[in-house]
Amino acid sequence: MAQRILVIETGGTICMRQGPDGLVPEDGVLADALAALGSGLDVTTRRIGPLRDSAEMGPLEWNAILDLIDAWDGDGVLVTHGTDTMAFTGAALAAALPTPRVPMILCGSMLPLGAAGGDAEGNLALALEAVASGLPGHYLCFAGQRMQAGSLVKHHSHQADAFRATGGGTTMALPAARRYGACRLAILTVAPGMPLAAGALAAMLAGLDGAVLRVFGAGTIMQDKGLLSVLRDAVARGCRIVAVSQCEQGGLEAGAYAAGAAIWAAGVENGGDMTPERAFCTLWLEFSVGKAALD
């Protein structure tokens, strides 16, 4: 009996065609490509519709994908997706479903299916091979590689080899929630001169339940009393702040530099070697405990 796989179509470049204002998703593009590849798999296709650019993907769509996965009793799942938020969706699925029983494969492309010299057909064929392998886990198939989907970085906006997996896992406890609820989170970045905008940062944090803070190197930040006071006050009122490094690899090392000691003293949490996307999704799930899922 042929292996039964679920293909979840969300949109993205892989299924686009040229429109009057640029590339737009088009119905039937993926179905035609799957038929042409003739994988020998028993394919069931579902759509998180309408098809969209991945800039529109977020917690609502992550929940819809997770619902389809939970209802599927076949041999694997393949999700076609745009590249711009691929790292977020990979992190979201890995955080919410940390031990999948079957392969969970993400697939996208830098050029649409049918484009001369494009990468879509090769990526899709590799994804079908990966989902048929029976190897459980969250993976992205892209540019001839199968990489961990929970720790992705999109490092190039145009090249076919656009992604790499940093190897960063999660240093936070596995959240009890398995769906994304109504929360107010953001990713913020420390930059030189930020003390001059401490008031703006305070106003932003006042409207958030939590934030991922991208800090320098192994975990440093400017030693400005006003800025540190903003962070300390936000944590004191219940706003959880998780620090991650602006570097792709290596993560944070609490205690390595005196310039980082004040972050931890303020109550900011150490995100270790997590990507910003993985920390963001993990924190979102932790805040979602006891909340109704977005729908």
Instruction: Quote the mean pLDDT of the chain.
Output: 93
- Annotated domain spans of the chain: 4-165, 185-288
**Nearest-5° Cα angle at 212, 208 to 217:** 150
| Weakest mean pLDDT among 59-63, 71-75, 207-211, 291-295 | 291-295
Residue 38 is predicted with a pLDDT of 83
Residue 290 is predicted with a pLDDT of 79
Residue 258 is predicted with a pLDDT of 80
User: Is the per-residue pLDDT at 163 higher than 70?
Assistant: yes
**Nearest-5° Cα angle at 104, 99 to 106:** 135
Cβ-proximal residues to 43 (8 Å cutoff; 6+ apart), any chain: 5, 7, 34
Contact 94/114 with Cβ under 8 angstroms? no
Contact 160/259 with Cβ under 8 angstroms? no
* Domain 185-288 CATH (choose: 2.30.30.30, 3.40.50.10140, 3.40.190.10, 3.40.50.40): 3.40.50.40
> pLDDT for 2-39, tens place per residue?
799 999 999 999 999 988 888 888 899 999 999 998 87
**Nearest-5° Cα angle at 139, 213 to 135:** 140
Cis peptide before 50 (omega within 30 of 0): yes
Which top CATH class is 4-165? alpha beta
**Tokens 């006891």 -> residue:** 290
Confidence (pTM): 0.95
Whether the domain at 4-165 and the domain at 185-288 fall into the same CATH topology: yes
Distance, CA of 97 to CA of 214 (rounded, Å): 25
Summarize the confidence of residues 212-230 as an average pLDDT. 95
